[in-house]
Chains A and B, each alone.
Chain A
Amino acid sequence: GAVVSQHPSRVICKSGTSVKIECRSLDFQATTMFWYRQFPKQSLMLMATSNEGSKATYEQGVEKDKFLINHASLTLSTLTVTSAHPEDSSFYICSARAGTGGNEQYFGPGTRLTVT
């Protein structure tokens, strides 16, 4: 099956610093990737939709200047949390759709971000 990887799997940073999370589709090309955030005991919340070669579309309430998304190629999307604060601590998950169409999303393993 299609595989999506994320790096790093876990990161701890200090307040005020920026953190970049990578999402890669390993064996397929993904024209669309999604970024989610999940707090403990809660569901996944869609943050933004990332399309290769164009600007990301952010969901209402998500600050685009704080969560920078770049979809530079058909296999890589990055999420940069700028000037991170403790309230940004969360589980960040990306997903990708294969270019052949379909509603099936392939999810990455997630990245645990802790801001101290």
Chain B
Amino acid sequence: LAKTTQPISMDSYEGQEVNITCSHNNIATNDYITWYQQFPSQGPRFIIQGYKTKVTNEVASLFIPADRKSSTLSLPRVSLSDTAVYYCLVGVNTNAGKSTFGDGTTLTVKP
């Protein structure tokens, strides 16, 4: 399983764009990159998934360079409610594939 490395913590202010980068140097050809958000005492919530280049949905964008050894989650105009732990997972896009959670990034949004 590909190991992921993220910054332990990040601070931001309301209304700013936040970019969280994840390193996954040994990502395999069949691996997808998935980001989750977790609030205290809750299960993780799916944010976005991608394989290469750029993916955008209603809450975030995911940038993946050509070598796929890293990825960046971009959260536009964060609010206080975006304060949470963010995890990037790398794993195969099949039902049998499993992913291992890294340490995650604790994002604190300040007023």
Contact = CB atoms under 8 A, between A and B. Distances in A.
Contacts of B36: 107
B34 A46 contact: no
A49 B43 contact: no
B93 A101 contact: yes
Interface residues of A, number: 28
Contacts, number: 63
Contact of A45 (B45, B89, B99, B101): B101
Main secondary structure of the interface of B (DSSP, over half): loop
Interface of A: 1, 4, 6, 31-32, 34, 36, 43-46, 49, 91, 93, 95, 97, 99, 101-110, 112
Q: On chain B, which size bracket covers the interface?
A: 20 to 34
29 contacts: A4-B43, A6-B43, A32-B95, A32-B96, A36-B101, A43-B104, A44-B44, A45-B101, A46-B98, A49-B98, A93-B44, A97-B95, A102-B93, A103-B32, A103-B34, A103-B91, A103-B93, A103-B94, A104-B34, A104-B46, A104-B49, A105-B34, A106-B46, A107-B44, A107-B45, A107-B46, A109-B42, A110-B42, A112-B41
